[in-house]
Amino acid sequence: MEQRAWHTTRVVVTGGAGFLGRAVVRELERRGCRDIFIPRSKEYDLREKDAIIRMLKDGRPDLMIHLAAVVGGIGANRENPGKFFYENIMMGVQLIEQARLFGVQKFVSAGTICAYPKFTPVPFREEDLWIGYPEETNAPYGLAKKMLLVQSQAYREQYGFNGIFLLPVNLYGPGDNFDPSSSHVIPALIKKCVDAKRRGDPSITVWGTGTASREFLYVDDAARGIVLASEKYDKSDPVNLGAGFEITIRDLVELVVEETGFQGEVLWDATKPDGQPRRCLDTSRAEKEFGFKAEVSFREGLRRTVEWYEKEVKGEE
């Protein structure tokens, strides 16, 4: 799909009203796309086949970007393994099948870094996706998403269906989910520090030991990568989307404490799980195949996210 074709391309973005979805829609608009359909869950329950068929008739897409997911941090994954597996797999599998039957030209699946095996050699290379079982706390979610890769590859082989599969690393940025019951690590830490500072609390408690490492990708960078892949990548091989760096949770906490100005003590609850021991991606395939490289530095992205949350808190007072 050549860049100049965006103005004539009809795009459906599932999850388009969510954190990543809003950034993808902004990026599509920036590139000249004018026909973007965002199915809202109250109108289209994408776990249901009939709702998917109705959505396809209403949106009439040339391209589908599937970002909708039932997601959360370690706590939410531990409490809802069945729900996370069922709802993610039912959404994705039926969307791909109905998109094929409907004649959609291209289907872009956003997978998850949780699909990688627990002890994947660092940096994670796409070839290592099948060398073991995912980390237990989020395996049901990771495997549900991973099945969309299997389906995309099988459908390409049998039907010539152009489905691609992307593996974005942990995302963060302004507009993230800051709900403590379902948020990921960066918004959860920012909220803890900002709220504790406002209340004058002497300490905050953080899950785990701090030894696990993670990689984080700024949401606008992720959106640019997804749109670039939608435009330029047409192969069955999965592709990592990341920033290509690694930071321990302990170092992350120190940065968040610094950026928020929290002066209290950090207590570590080692009875809580660390999750996957290490996460860092080999991002060379994305650069080679469609010219994607992260641009926003982690410190800058973190600063923007903290500033956004602090403004939101002030606006609620």
pLDDT digit string, tens, across residues 85-122: 999 999 999 999 999 999 999 999 999 999 999 999 99
Segment 188-217 shows an average pLDDT of: 95
Q: What is the pLDDT of residue 314?
A: 83
Q: What is the pLDDT of residue 276?
A: 80
- C-alpha 281/C-alpha 283 separation (Å) is 6
- Give me the residue spans of the domains in the chain: 3-176+215-246+278-296
Q: Which residue has the tokens 């959505």?
A: 55
Q: Which residue has the tokens 């290490």?
A: 278
Yes or no: is domain 3-176+215-246+278-296 CATH 3.40.50.720? Answer: yes
Segment 264-276 shows an average pLDDT of: 92
Does the structure show a pLDDT above 70 at 1? no
Does the structure show a pLDDT above 90 at 55? yes
DSSP, collapsed to helix, strand or coil, labels residue 87 as: helix
Sorted by sequence, the CB contacts under 8 Å of residue 113 that are 6+ apart come out as: 124, 167, 168, 169, 170, 215, 242, 279, 281
Closest-CA residue to 316 (of 195, 219, 180, 200): 195
Percent of the chain with pLDDT over 70: 98
DSSP, collapsed to helix, strand or coil, labels residue 130 as: coil
Q: pLDDT category, 183, cuts 50, 70, 90?
A: confident
Q: What is the pLDDT of residue 77?
A: 76
CA dihedral over 294, 247, 84, 218, signed as positive or negative: negative
Which residues are identified as catalytic? 141
Q: pLDDT category, 317, cuts 50, 70, 90?
A: low
Does the structure show a pLDDT above 60 at 4? no
Q: What is the largest CA-CA distance in the chain?
A: 61
- C-alpha 105/C-alpha 102 separation (Å) is 9
DSSP, collapsed to helix, strand or coil, labels residue 103 as: coil
String of b and e for 103-132 (b: at least 16 CB within 10 Å)? ebebbbbbbbbbbbbbebebbbbbebbeee
CB atoms within 10 A of CB 237: 14
> What is the pLDDT of the chain when averaged over all its residues?
94
CB 175 within 8 A of CB 219: yes
Q: Which residue has the tokens 């968040």?
A: 256
* Cα distances (angstroms) measured from residue 199 to each of 191, 202, 276: 12, 9, 32
